[in-house]
A and B are shown apart, each in its own frame.
Chain A
Amino acid sequence: SAVISQKPSRDICQRGTSLTIQCQVDSQVTMMFWYRQQPGQSLTLIATANQGSEATYESGFVIDKFPISRPNLTFSTLTVSNMSPEDSSIYLCSVKSSRTGKETQYFGPGTRLLVL
């Protein structure tokens, strides 16, 4: 399995500011994913980030609000811009990895964001 780390693990931010979340993987992966988990809710895919190309955003998510970088095959960042209290969520980085056979999707520990 892939080992995924995220920074910061949690943060408290003021509305109107931005926060950049980092995701580091211990192996090279083609696709990295960013999810949001709002309080008491399930996971929602924000975007898929491929190295060397623009991220692909899901319906309801836009690049201006959630810009993503993917500079290499082991690292990605997600920025939550111009934050409001509605952005308070857990943000999870995810990758697909396999030793043999089909790839399995693994998740990082998450970044817990509270916007005041």
Chain B
Amino acid sequence: AQSVTQPDIHITVSEGASLELRCNYSYGATPYLFWYVQSPGQGLQLLLKYFSGDTLVQGIKGFEAEFKRSQSSFNLRKPSVHWSDAAEYFCAVGADIGGGSNYKLTFGKGTLLTVNP
């Protein structure tokens, strides 16, 4: 069965600093990979996704992630963090269950990002 590990429960960065959130997955085939963000009191918003192709994926709000098969990782990065980026970030892996785009998501436990002024 697939699994996702987000090693950092809580990260604090200063506004303007760079950010990297770690995500490692376990899955026997090429995974579909996602990053979602959940702001306080909100639902989940999709930041970016990887299905195939270019391993460096660009998302919304200036985020990017890189799929590294050799490391089973899909780390999320942003060069300069804004105060509005404070939220919880979830990495998810989609395990193909057949039928083309039919996959089942498994989520990591999330990383809470605090941004200091």
Main secondary structure of the interface of B (DSSP, over half): strand
Q: Are B43 and A92 in contact (CB under 8 A)?
A: yes
Q: Are A102 and B101 in contact (CB under 8 A)?
A: yes
Residues of A within 8 A of B110 (CB): 42
A62 at the A/B interface (Cβ < 8 Å)?
A: no
Number of inter-chain CB pairs below 8 Å: 43
Give the number of residues in B that approach A within 8 Å (Cβ atoms). Answer: 21
Rounded to whole Å, the gap between the CB of B51 and the closest CB of chain A is: 5
Give the number of residues in A that approach B within 8 Å (Cβ atoms). Answer: 20
Residues of A within 8 A of B49 (CB): 104
B35 at the A/B interface (Cβ < 8 Å)?
A: no
Q: Are A45 and B105 in contact (CB under 8 A)?
A: yes
Q: What separation, in Å, do the CA atoms of A1 and B104 have in the docked complex?
A: 18
Ranked 10 nearest A-B pairs via Cβ: A109-B43, A102-B101, A107-B44, A103-B101, A42-B107, A110-B43, A42-B109, A43-B107, A107-B43, A102-B51
